Amino acid sequence: MAKTEQEKMVTGELFDVYDAELVAQRDAARQQVEAFNALGESDPEESERLIRKLFGATGDSVSVHPTFRCDYGYNIYVDDDFFANYDCVMLDVGPIHIGKHCLLGPKVQIYSVNHPAEPELRRNGAMGIGKPVTLGDDVWVGGGAIICPGVTLGNNVIVGAGSVVTKSFGDNVVVAGNPARVVKQLK
């Protein structure tokens, strides 16, 4: 039996970005995100309820400040004690897994979508490839940092503000720069 475009998307295969089912899912997510952002900070309990409904899974204590943007929402999995500051973007074509006690500074961007190298396949943005992003426990991503597709960060990683993380790093490090590199080992 042939896979759906959604199945291809979440398993990291080349998929049609303009598939009708995926377009409808993005539209539904956009409506949920707009409702969340429209609340501002006026109703924290309702904001949390909307985020829990949008995300694929959430642990205890989930806090996301507006504005927030994502593609689907259901590919975002956060564990206990998650905090995302203002203006974060998570392009969740591929799964985004975030561990316990993680903090995202303002304007952090996490991308789990890529496009093929062949120009004929990426014309008009028609084809995409999901590449999962994983952040371990106790990760702190500084403001304005970008986490690129396919990156895994281990436990107790600090990403310096404004950094562009293009490759994976293990536990107990501070990474910074463009492209990010290890600048300090942690205990």
Beta-bridge mates of residue 82: 62
Half-sphere exposure of 181 (CA within 13 A, CB side): 4
Cis peptide before 149 (omega within 30 of 0): no
97 in active site = no
CB 106 within 8 A of CB 87: yes
Whether omega before 67 lies within 30 degrees of 0, making that bond cis, reads yes
- For helices 20-39 and 44-54, the axis angle rounded to 10 degrees is 170
Annotated catalytic residue within 65, 97, 101, 115:
115
Residues that are catalytic = 115
